[in-house]
Amino acid sequence: VLREEALATLRLRAGGVYVDATFGAGGYTRAMLQAADCRVIAFDRDPGARAFAAPLMAQYPDRLTLIEAPFSRMDTEVRALGPSMVDGVVLDIGVSSMQLDEAERGFSFRQDGPLDMRMGAGGPSAADLVNRESEARLADIFYYFGEERFARVIARAIVTARQASPITTTRQLADLIAGCIRVRPQDIHPATRSFQALRIAVNDELGELASALHAAERLLAPDGVLSVVTFHSLEDRIVKTFFNARSGRTQGGSRHQPVLVEPKPTFRIDGKWPISPSHAELVANPRARSAKLRAGIRTSLEATAADTSVMALAALPEPKRGRR
Ligand SMILES: C[S@@+](CC[C@H](N)C(=O)[O-])C[C@H]1O[C@@H](n2cnc3c(N)ncnc32)[C@H](O)[C@@H]1O
């Protein structure tokens, strides 16, 4: 989705060093290596990405490195390799089709598998969250990360069901959710939003995205490009807020508390964003209907502390006292 458009923003050139922060099956990296005699440092926290990188490394010796780590650490990981700055960073956020298609990974409510949803190795699984979190916390996850109207009803049903026996499979959870929500035939599957929410929580997807934008800001050389493809509105809001804040489009402060320092833009925004998929792309892949591309060009000003409004968009609200 939006690959051509995203790669065009990078203005790839021979001798340049670029980060593909979401290697997946290597589609972006392959196109980058083909487009210019450049170096690509790729990231994926899914160990399954290695199998896709091997043939590309053989085809383009010395031009591709794959790092199995979260992309929020891209600045420190790239510097540990040698380069102190890069000419472009691209993120293609979301789950890969391999992750969705493999029933054992537990991402899909359409196939039965263990309720896992972890992109990388380690950390709590979706089953751990579903069986251990409080009812209020589960409701928050479904409400904020899934924009699910029936968040409380679903959380209540989960807590009741797990008292009898733990919920361990995708089918069990999908059926439980389907039993709580009345849907019309034209609606999306009733578990769609809750599965998205759990996936976001399990992988801290929004926190990772917000941190990655700041890591890219620290890593990019002046005139380097940050290009981000997102899959749904929660992600796009984070990217949009980041670029607005960092390009000086939002003025902090108020009449009563004016900003004391002039904003120092670390990005320049050229052109009109976001870009959405073409009609042809949407026909081929209707799941991409909310996909959006945004890009910014790094200025030479120094990166400052993380923007608090961006970080706040990525987190669940603090638990209210006495509610849990
Ligand atoms: C939509 S896919 C990318 C597909 C890729 N552009 C391609 O052409 O094949 C997103 C990938 O990012 C990886 N990913 C997601 N969050 C990550 C994170 N925080 N750190 C590193 N990799 C991550 C996922 O494991 C997945 O393989």
The pLDDT value recorded for residue 187 is 87
Within 6 A (CB) of ligand 1 lie 22, 24-28, 43-46, 49, 70-71, 92, 94, 96, 119, 208
Centre of ligand 1 to C-alpha 24, Å, is 5
- Top mutation candidate among 2, 10, 23 for ligand 1, by most atoms within 8 Å of CB: 23
45 alpha carbon – ligand 1 mean position (Å) = 8
pLDDT at residue 146 tops 80 = yes
- pLDDT bin (cut points 50, 70, 90) of residue 1 is confident
260 confidence band (pLDDT: 50, 70, 90)? low
Q: Is the pLDDT of residue 11 over 50?
A: yes
Mean pLDDT computed over 82-107: 94
Q: What is the pLDDT of residue 121?
A: 83
Mean of per-residue pLDDT scores for the chain: 93
How far does residue 93's CA lie from ligand 1's centre (Å)?
6
Higher pLDDT, 68 or 263: 68
How does pLDDT run across 20-51, given as a tens digit for each residue? 999 999 999 999 999 999 999 999 999 999 99
Kindly tell me the sign of the dihedral angle through the C-alpha atoms of 175, 179, 182, 185: positive
Across 210-239, average pLDDT: 97
Model confidence at 122, in pLDDT bands (50, 70, 90)? confident
Contact between 52 and 190 under an 8 Å Cβ cutoff? The reply is: no
Q: Which of 218-232, 233-247, 274-288 has the lowest mean pLDDT?
A: 274-288
- Residue 259's pLDDT band, with cuts at 50, 70 and 90, is low
Does residue 258 surpass a pLDDT of 80?
A: no
Question: What pLDDT, on a 0 to 100 scale, did the predictor assign at position 252?
Answer: 58
Residue 323 pLDDT > 60:
no
Protein residue whose Cα sits closest to atom 25 of ligand 1: 46
**Spacing, Cα 195 to ligand 1 middle (Å):** 18
Q: Is the bond into 258 cis (omega within 30 degrees of 0)?
A: no
pLDDT digits (tens, 9 = 90+) for 191-219: 999 999 999 999 999 999 999 999 999 99
Q: Band the pLDDT of 324: cuts 50, 70, 90.
A: very low
